[in-house]
Amino acid sequence: MSDPPPFDPDEAPADPIEKFHMWLSSAVDPQPRAMVLSTVDQDGHPDARVVMLRDVSADGWSFSTSALSPKGTQLAATPWAALTWHWPAQGRQIRARGPVDMTDGTADFLARPPDSRAEAIVGRRQSEPLTDLDELRAALSDAAAQIDDVPPDWTRYLLRPNEVQFFQIDPSRAHVRLRYDRTGDGWTRSLRWP
């Protein structure tokens, strides 16, 4: 890794979404929109997986999946989650957590490429036992004929952050961690020990 970019927390904007946009637009990693979604299952055990950021707005970060998938059922039971982005080439990490709202995912589903739609249809069975790869191939082939039919359980999720942290490594090991906490309609910022 080359020298990481500088991060002066005194120059950070008042809103973490604005700071996120700045870091996302300068990210050099091959998949900067890939993020780790962390939820909890019905027993309170943590679960994490990589999903793609669909959109970011003033309200928060959006992703989509089947409401029947493990992450969908976990979010239905406990509508809180955490998101993490890690851009190692620049020594950056962002963490956000907060409540999650569920909305119609039709536009997100139809915006996916055809192969991705077929995969999403098959992904409704995510983490279920699979007899062999031929069964998966047959399911993908069947799903390819249904890619214009939006699954009724396809859902868009919006994480509305209560807390956001930006972490930047420093060659001298004086790493910078800046935390935003929601306070009413605004945010408070504070430095944290790395």
* Residue extents of the structural domains in the chain: 13-108+154-192
Q: At what angle do helices 133-144 and 114-122 cross, to 10 degrees?
A: 120
- Going through 77-151 in order, the beta strands assigned E by DSSP cover 80-87, 92-104
For 51-74, give one letter per residue: b (16+ CB within 10 A) or e. bebbbbeeebbbbbbbbbbbbbeb
Q: Taking a C-beta distance cutoff of 8 angstroms, is the pair 118, 136 a contact? A: no
In terms of Cβ atoms closer than 10 Å to its own Cβ (0-12, 13-18, 19+), residue 35 is buried
The chain-wide mean pLDDT, for the chain, equals 94
- pLDDT for residue 1: 56
Q: Provide the whole-model pTM.
A: 0.92
For domain 13-108+154-192, give the fold: Pnp Oxidase; Chain A (2.30.110)
- pLDDT for residue 41: 93
* Share of residues in the chain with pLDDT > 90 (%): 88
- pLDDT for residue 156: 96
Q: How far apart are CA 182 and CA 15, in angstroms?
A: 9
Q: Kindly give the parts of the chain with pLDDT less than 70.
A: 1
**Identity of residue 8:** D
- pLDDT for residue 29: 87
Q: How far apart are CA 72 and CA 67, in angstroms?
A: 4
The residues that bridge with 48 in the sheet, in sequence order, are 38
Nearest to 85, CA basis, from 29, 136, 162, 138: 29
**Identity of residue 81:** A
- pLDDT for residue 182: 97
